[in-house]
Structure 1
């Protein structure tokens, strides 16, 4: 570890936080075309930050949608090359009225920075860059070779990144993938994520009569699309939380006895209920809450709408009904196959009097890597040194689609060393990032960059 780099980070903490605020103030919402210019602005900001840190060959590279930011520094002889990944795009901010402070006016309170993207993933991208800056400014060179790839489409499933990686295999060639876009298991407890669930998303649109109908004149003789949709969605689970779509579980890899035991020990249902504000948890019967969250697949209704939504009553039979669904997947489920199974289920269980149209959205394959890899164990050692506690190796319920892409196309083992917390409201109002993990995360990354070369010899 470089004491000079650590001193630099401590000395520049205030100015770094102001710089982070500037980054967080850019509304780089990738899912909304109205923010296309702001997404590009965030890419340019990221590129400038890399250049200021001493990274070479920095480019803002076009894709079919939002750009990829690339840069490298490749002068460390006989040292491994780390491909460092993150994303500068963010989620939408709705419902805006639930934010205590504006989502793109970063605010620090209670030793946390509040803003959209603070935890997911601008805050962690910023940390990666500033650690490189600290080492370069103080040591004048890096102990490892680094390549950076920061994208602007992670929050919409990274549709442009697979073809980008395919077209730039030589440019992105490396030994290890380092990602800081995951969470620690709890505050003060260092953890390394070695598995991510996959994802498939779709929208179901039911169409009934040609227009909304008077419920008095036509009710009882016409199928109500909202009723049909409710029946259809209810048919996808049983009362014990199992998914009833035929073939859904056929390729699911069973959890090992060690995983089942570990997840049982890590499950704290009382604390989870308290944090979520619910009186009772509900999930697939026969599994602990951590097993449900990390190692089992799901099917969730994310949005449901149709008919009159205004104040008071409007007595209509709606013409249409809609639902958005995402499935979180585990090894060895395939997103395309699961989407096809859901489509078949819709066709089989659709009530008469309505037609269905299905639109496919985000897809990502699940990913699990052995956590005994030397690069992952080195990350665990760096975390233990800074946090003073033994590192726990876990899976995570979310998805980072590009991790599987880099593993498949480039053969890279992935070190998923994130510093966020599951309680930091990413994808929700009042997203925030604990500055304790900001500070300790910087120290951990400094240690890791100096430790990794020895670990891979």
Structure 2
């Protein structure tokens, strides 16, 4: 039984303003990972913020160099209470995205500001607010009991927003350092703002670039129309041969073999886009055999990210010489991504488009912990005990995370307890954390860690 007094302390910590004040300190560090000049801020964040927090939890803290020069360092905190106890691995990322636009009402992205229940600032949702929730929950538990009841390892990376360079290699080379029984971490959004959520993995991501480069320069459409191949027309048809105008993938090799029964059962009754202000899912878009939740969390999608030829804002009467598009395949476990380039090239050739050049670039890999894993049922029963509403179990969330590092490299069950929601504006102006989600998230995380300390 989880003590009501402990959960009340978690609620009071948010209500008192203490959590907000601490989050303001974290947000003030401009830890942008894709700008070399901001590596100083990242180092300061590790040294000035995260290291003292981990040491306050009784952790021995080490900074490790990244084996990939494109990435920043790793920070690992370790607290060992007894070899006989279970070991928990937590994860967070210290980096944030750079600025891409103007924030509303003159807000400074590096200054935490409150507007009702919305707390604005870069990193509030992705990922500083989320790892602060978990660090705070661990701190509350330690203060209440004098011990955690388990061994703790906390891994922070500094390049998640640029694809986690070096993380796979680092984990593979430091398996003993990161050895644990389970991962509990927080990133990404919950199902919606009102629904406590556990997800078990992430979809993978592959970018497919199509390039129709037929000739240098453009040629007058009145003089050459009808006798010169138009690369834009060719590209539009080539894209449609891969994914039709209703979002349905046309290449079998870009699909998973099936929707597993366990995944289908977990997603039964799950409603997506259920927060006020969310876009309304479009009727007739995607595979009609699947529910919206199955399409988003259990299946593959092929999206056009960019498509261009000529100057769409100032068109001229000329046939362009080149057209390009970038597509993204979001894919689930079971998809064979090794042959994507060959499959797409073959499909385009069969449709009469051998002149389309294909380049494939991978990113995060798809991975998930099985829905029937004992750690999943334990976590759900624990969260159910303290949540005031039904808890959603998602086999994976729709976006990408380096979950495969923990499942495939370290061999762990992975439990993600997100403290954000789909409308948080991460990676965009006006990123924010919802105060009610932070409050509820701290209660749920405290309950989960307390239950782990009682688990034998």
| Structure 1 length-normalised TM | 0.86
CA deviation map 1:79-123 (0-9, x unaligned): 211010122223344344678734333321121212232222221
Which structure 2 residues correspond to residues 102-181 of structure 1 after superposition, within 5 A?
Answer: 102-137=108-143, 139-181=145-187
Shift of 1:277: 5.1
Q: Which runs of 5+ in 1 are unaligned?
A: none
Q: Write the distance in 2 (CA, Å) between the matches of 1:76 and 1:206.
A: 61
Match of 1:74 among 75, 80, 84: 80
Matched, 1:365 2:369: no
3-state SS of the aligned residue for 2:418? coil
**How far apart are residue 15 of structure 1 and its match?**
3.7
1:385-434 CA-partner distances (Å, limit 9, x unpaired): 33223433223442444322212222211112222222323344432221
Matched, 1:298 2:301: yes
Structure-2 separation of matches of 1:11 and 1:401: 29
Deviation by residue 1:134-171 (Cα, 9 ceiling, x = unmatched):
33445443222110111122233323111110110110
- The answer to whether structure 1 residue 392 and structure 2 residue 398 are counterparts is no
Q: What is the CA–CA distance in structure 2 between the aligned matches of 1:9 and 1:119, rounded to whole Å?
A: 19
- Contact kept, 8 Å, 1:87 with 1:152, in 2: the verdict is yes
SS at match of 2:155: strand
CA contact (8 A) 1:199 1:362 kept: yes
Query: What secondary structure is seen at the aligned counterpart in 2 of 1:91?
Result: coil
Match of 2:259 among 250, 254, 258: 254
Whole-Å Cα distance in 2 between the matches of residues 236 and 110 of structure 1? 45
Q: Does 1:245 align with 2:248?
A: no
The match for 1:425 is: 425
C-alpha distance in structure 1 between counterparts of 2:58 and 2:339, whole Å: 41
Partner residue, 1:27: 30
Equivalent residue for 1:266? 270
Which segment drifts farther, 38-47 or 17-26?
38-47
Is 1:183 paired with 2:189? yes
Residues 348-369 of structure 1, C-alpha deviation per residue, up to 9 Å, x if partnerless?
Answer: 54647x5525251414123242
Deviates more, 1:319-328 or 1:120-129: 319-328
Count of residues paired in the alignment: 450
1:328 equivalent among 313, 327, 330? 330
Aligned-residue offset at 1:214: 4.7
Tell me if structure 1 keeps the 8 A contact 2:209–2:325: yes
> Normalized against structure 2, the TM-score is what?
0.86
CA distance in 2, matches of 1:303, 1:28: 28
In structure 2, relative to structure 1, the CA distance for the partners of 1:200 and 1:424 (3 Å cut) is same
Of 284, 292, 306, the residue aligned with 2:287 is 284
3-state SS of paired residue (2:325): strand
Q: Structure 1 residues 128 and 138, CA, compared in 2 at 3 Å: closer, same or farther?
A: same
Deviations along 1:263-310, one digit per CA (max 9) or x if unpaired, are 3522367x5896205664622121111111111111111222342255
SS in 2 for 1:276: coil
